[in-house]
Structure 1
Amino acid sequence: MARKRNPNGAGSIWQRKDGRYEARVYVRQPDGTRKRKTVYGATWEECDEKRQELVRRDRQGIPTPSRSAKLSEWLPYWLEEHVRPERKRTTYVKYEMHTRLYLVPLLGNRRLESLTTANVRRMLSAVTAQASAATAKEAHRVLRTALTAACREELISRNVVQLVPAPQVEPRELCPWTLDESLTFLEAARSDALYPAFVLAVALGLRRGEILGLQWRDVDLDRRTLTVRTTLNRGGKELYLDTTKNRRARVIPVPRMCVAPLRWQHMRQAGQRAALGAEWHDSGLVFTTRSGRPIEPRNLYRSFQRVSTSAGLPSVRLHDTRHGCASLLFAAGVAPRTVMEILGHSQIAVTMNVYTHVNAETRREAMSHMDRLLKRRR
């Protein structure tokens, strides 16, 4: 009995001269095109089972490469089709950078199915030598995420990156400023045009992007509240506003020490707007250049470094003021949950384990209680 002819689009099967059976089906490619995929089987039934699987995947919209895609082909597709529409823009920029600088140059010629743990280890060693262990660890995470997406699309059966441990990175020793050092910095920064921004960094622990992305519509000086809902970031050649790191807005009560600097900033900006007239760029941001445009994040950091150096203070990052703010709040007896909400963390473990530091004076005060508790009876 002759077998029925397969319907259009379902492929065809025939017997080869070597006795095996061969089937070919047009299937969807990761780039959206359609190409013919060939499968083989020792028997007609085995070959037909493979053919039906290809047809099923195609009808479900699952791409099936006619050949195993190279990483130089898959990674750009993954960035555009998976990362760009689903993740924050800052994540896309970071992933694209690691893909362009490390993954494609070092692994681009490898095909997805032929990638081995040895390939991954050599890549990590090369990135560590070229940049640092921290950069290699991030490249490991990007590649693992990309291959996890390939597994979901059934392009590969396993993610070999999961079999290779990420490089160990020594945690950075954090020594945020003490209360006296923070006060010294603010005193030295009074004459700087960005003094109000520094006050928000020290007193509220705002991130650099949150300071520069703050808009006047989110500042209520009469009620002394400030809403953090946007952040200013650099992506490639442009600055852009985005949601906060955890995508949630938070309302922070403003200490009195922040009110006067913010009022001064509002008056100063109004004077600049009046002087430029039509040439003023109305961005609605609290902190802008003289023409009203967003401030380059690196420039805020450079100003911070210049002031702290001139004041003779220990060298710290601008981001370390968040650590100092958290430690001061804890020293004042503020509840951990409240500190978490002020700093905008998604998990309280981050607040407790990363952003709280006990300085030497606090430790000395704590241990002084032992004299009282363990004092021998006379």
Structure 2
Amino acid sequence: MHRINDTLSSALSWGIKREQAFAKNWAQLVELPPVTRPKPVVWTPERIEHWKRTGEKPGPVMVWTPELTGQFLDFVKADWLYELWHSFIFLGPRRGEMAALPWTEVNTDALWLRISQQIVEVAYKLYGEAPKADSVRTLSLSLESADNLVSFRSKQERKRQEWGDAYVETGRVWTHENGEALHPDWISRRFTRLVELSGLPPVRLHDLRHLAATLSLLAGTDIKVVQEKLGHSSRQITSDTYTSVLPEMMRAEAESVMAVVPRDIPFKVRTSLVIPESAWQGDIAVFFAHGAQRSGDRWVVGVQTQPDSDLLGMITLAGRGQDDAANAAVKWIRDHCTANNLELVRVETFSDRYPEEQRAAFSLTRFTIARTESPDLDGWAPLTGPPPARARTTRRAPNGRRKSA
């Protein structure tokens, strides 16, 4: 009703200014009840169970958790448009923007693509137009997203050779196997069908835009960056829509507080912590501290990079529950980082992943640490020429994949 009235008001205003056909804009006198934009709702286990039992969605706008998102990507790995679904999830574009995206607006070496066109569908007819000024934007690509685009271009080239003269040249990034451009409505219907086949709780294609925003916020991205990524006209729209979507966001905040102010839980080091070089990915290492209640108040906490890997270290403590075990692990890792010139970047607790009947006897904490060493003056090479054009470059590995250099 609001959209219809706005359209009528715009038309009447045009008639008054250009044709002087009307004396008054009657649409501006219409009073309509206020409308609250529905906010995204996350698919929790309880809501999934209710949906399976009744077929009812808790709300019009639903968002998958990171775990459900991973399951969907695994399911569509062999689909012709896998790279498109990956882009929707991690970049958050509108479907008309993806349907119109040309290869000339993509640079996989410099890791960016520019949204400057969109296709609008009215009664299944397509119209090309420029997005609103706030929606014209450049999106940064991760290495994985760039690799996906390179992979899709290779698939297109193979299909171009297979189809020969029958191949349709559109210059678009996302096409059918014969080169024809994708209709925005077809993209939505194809996505809906894939979700049905996967057995996952339903989300709309546009909901992936909400998912991209919430995943970015969950990863700690500044809300201003998320606003620019989505092409919102104001930061307030982004904040009002997304800041309370995923329960994990609230849990991450609580875990950050715990990491900043760890409790002083006495513990004994049974095996000193040693982080092998194989655990490092560049300057970042991620590992887990598993706590288990042995008898009474006696707890054992061991550190591993994976559940089935060797122990990197172990402590014991007298604790009243999983919180004490987690706090002792935080203190242990913090002390290790201080002694070895490392930085404790992030602490996340996952104790709720255990079955409810086992939860009181186990704890699981994930740590992300970073190297903080920098070369001294002797380690810096003199600058003898002009500065490089980019700090990040890429090179091709023998298998054709791109690597940072």
Relative to 1, partners in 2 of residues 1:185 and 1:372: Cα closer, same or farther, differing over 3 Å? closer
> Residue 334 and residue 247 in structure 1: after superposition, are their counterparts in 2 closer, same or farther (change >3 A)?
closer
Deviations, residues 144-164 of structure 1 (Å, cap 9, x unaligned): 222223333544333222222
Per-residue CA deviations over 1:253-297 (Å, capped at 9, x if unaligned) read 111221232222111111111122222221100111232111121
Are the structure 2 counterparts of residues 246 and 182 from structure 1 closer, same or farther at C-alpha, using a change threshold of 3 Å?
farther
2:10 aligns to what?
145
TM score, norm. by length of structure 2? 0.54
CA–CA distance in 1 between the matches of 2:204 and 2:186?
13
Name the CA distance, whole Å, in 1 between partners of 2:2 and 2:65: 32
Percent of aligned pairs sharing the same letter: 29
Map 1:359-374 → 2, pairs under 5 A: 359-366=246-253
Q: 4+ runs of 1 displaced by more than 6 Å?
A: 368-373
163, 172, 178: which is aligned to 2:38? Answer: 172
Q: Distance in 2 between matches of 1:330 and 1:307?
A: 26
Contact map agreement 2:103 2:173 (CA 8 A) in 1: yes
Q: Deviations over 1:210-233 (max 9, x none)?
A: 112111111111222111111223
Question: Could you say which residue in structure 1 is the equivalent of 2:27?
Answer: 161
User: Structure 1 residue 357: deviation in Å?
Assistant: 3.9
Q: 1:225, 1:254 within 8 Å by CA — same for their partners in 2?
A: yes
Measured after TM superposition, the shift of residue 207 of structure 1 is 1.0
Match of 1:219 in 2: 106
Match of 1:184 among 47, 61, 71: 71
AA in 2 matched with 1:141:
D
Going from structure 1 to structure 2, the CA distance change for 1:171 and 1:282 (only over 3 Å counts) comes to same
SS of equivalent residue, structure 2 residue 15: helix
Deviation readout 1:4-23 (Å, 9 max, x if unpaired): xxxxxxxxxxxxxxxxxxxx
* CA RMSD in angstroms, aligned pairs only: 2.9
2:238 corresponds to: 351
Question: Of Structure 1 and Structure 2, which has the larger fraction of its residues in helix?
Answer: 1
SS in 2 for 1:354: helix
Residues 160 and 184 (structure 1 numbering): CA distance in 2 closer, same or farther, change over 3 Å?
Answer: same
CA shift, 1:239, in A, is 2.7
Asked whether the 8 Å contact 1:140–1:166 carries over to 2, the reply is no
Q: Secondary structure at the match of 1:241?
A: strand
Q: Distance in 1 between matches of 2:66 and 2:8?
A: 42
> 1:368–1:177: structure 2 CA closer, same or farther, 3 Å change rule?
same
Deviation track 1:12-70 (CA, whole Å, cap 9, x = no partner) reads xxxxxxxxxxxxxxxxxxxxxxxxxxxxxxxxxxxxxxxxxxxxxxxxxxxxxxxxxxx
Matched with 2:172 is: 285
Q: CA deviation at 1:367?
A: 5.8
TM-score normalised over the length of structure 1: 0.57
Instruction: Decide which of 73, 80, 90 is 1:203's aligned counterpart.
Output: 90
Q: Which ranges in structure 2 are unaligned for 5 or more consecutive residues?
A: 42-62, 261-405
Q: Does 1:239 align with 2:126?
A: yes
Task: Return closer, same or farther for 1:291/1:240 CA change in 2, 3 Å cut-off.
Answer: farther
Displacement of 1:360: 2.3
Residue in structure 2 matched with residue 250 of structure 1 by the alignment? 137
Counterpart of 1:144 in structure 2: which amino acid? S
Quick one: distance in 2 between partners of 1:300 and 1:330? 26
One-letter amino acid matched to 2:102: Q
C-alpha distance in 1 between matches for 2:161 and 2:25? 60
Deviation at 1:324, TM superposition (A): 1.4
Find the counterpart in structure 2 of residue 274 from structure 1: 161
Q: Any conservation in 1 of the 2:218–2:248 contact (CA below 8 Å)?
A: no
Over 3 Å counting, the alpha-carbon distance change for 1:240 and 1:160 in structure 2 is: closer
Matched, 1:260 2:147: yes
Shift of 1:372: 11
Q: Residue 308 in 1 paired to residue 201 in 2? A: no
More strand by percentage: 2
C-alpha separation in 2, matches of 1:218 and 1:267: 17
Larger Rg, first or second structure (1 or 2): 1
